[in-house]
Amino acid sequence: MKDRFLVFRFVRWTVGIWLKLWLRLEAHGTENVPATGGCVLASNHVSYLDPAVVVCGLRHRNVRFMARDTLFAGRFRNWFFHAIRCVPLDRTRGDVAALRKGINILKAGEVLGVFPEGTRSHDGNLHPAKGGIGFMIAKAGVPTVPVYVQGTFEALPRDARKIKRTRVRVYYGSPIPFEEITALGDGKDVYQRVGELVMSRIAALRPVPGDRPSTLKQ
């Protein structure tokens, strides 16, 4: 049986080398990502570089990502994004089918990367989560690992055309147990509360200016 992640692994290896050489990628807290079982990686989003940084920071898990469906336009891009096993998501409407596919992926024991904010930040700051991600997290029954990416906004902000050489770091935080998600209760605003919790944990990972983590996990 062929490795379903063969293309993914090759892309992660080649892109990872470039990230380390050009952007001096550092990964911190990778031990917080469970070695087995389904989990969500919920990251801030400020640059096109973010998915690659989140994926290449890990070595012990393969990561699928939810990506806007317009990225799949064209024969080659459609093949490529499906080959690295991305899940297309229509952001112009409540794409329940894509969210349910994400839930099934998580229940099957895979890792799924998401950007709760839904789109890249214009100013590099954190913004509120979209309700759809809260829905998926609340229904999946798996832990959620908050992730904070630092430096990609300086390297390639939303309107930039060239990648500036700088240092990029990715921080993987302690998992949010699913029991903590269910403790938020129910009701029509529960998905918003889930999103707020996840964004607060992402915000807590932001390093204090001038500080450098004492441990580095590659």
Strand order in the sheet with 169-172: 26-28, 169-172, 144-150, 39-43, 111-114, 63-68, 87-89
Is residue 217 in some structural domain?
A: no
Please report the DSSP string for the chain in residue order.
---TTHHHHHHHHHHHHHHHHHS--EEE-GGGS-SSS-EEEEE---STTHHHHHHHT-SSS-EEEEEEGGGG-SHHHHHHHHHTT-EEE-TTS--HHHHHHHHHHHHTT-EEEE-TT-S--SSSS--PPPHHHHHHHHHH-S-EEEEEEESHHHHS-TT-SSPPP---EEEE---B-HHHHHTT--STTHHHHHHHHHHHHHHHTPPPTT---S----
- Which token pair is 2? 């062929």
SS3 string of 90-119?
Answer: CCCCCCHHHHHHHHHHHHCCCEEEECCCCC
> Rounded distance, CA 218 to CA 215, Å?
10
Is residue 33 in some structural domain?
A: yes
Is residue 14 in some structural domain?
A: no
Locus of tokens 């031990």: 31
Is residue 2 in some structural domain?
A: no
CA 213 to chain centre: 21
CATH classification at residue 48: 3.40.1130.10
Residue 210: the pLDDT is: 62
Residue 2: the pLDDT is: 55
Is residue 6 in some structural domain?
A: no
Structural domains in the chain (count): 1
Is residue 167 in some structural domain?
A: yes
Prediction pTM value:
0.91
pLDDT tens, per residue, the chain with 218 residues: 457 789 999 999 999 999 999 999 999 999 999 999 999 999 999 999 999 999 999 999 999 998 888 899 999 999 999 999 999 988 777 688 899 999 999 999 999 999 999 889 999 999 999 888 999 999 999 999 999 999 999 999 998 999 999 999 999 999 999 999 999 988 879 999 999 999 999 999 999 776 655 443 33
Is residue 212 in some structural domain?
A: no
Range of the domain at 63: 25-204
Is residue 213 in some structural domain?
A: no
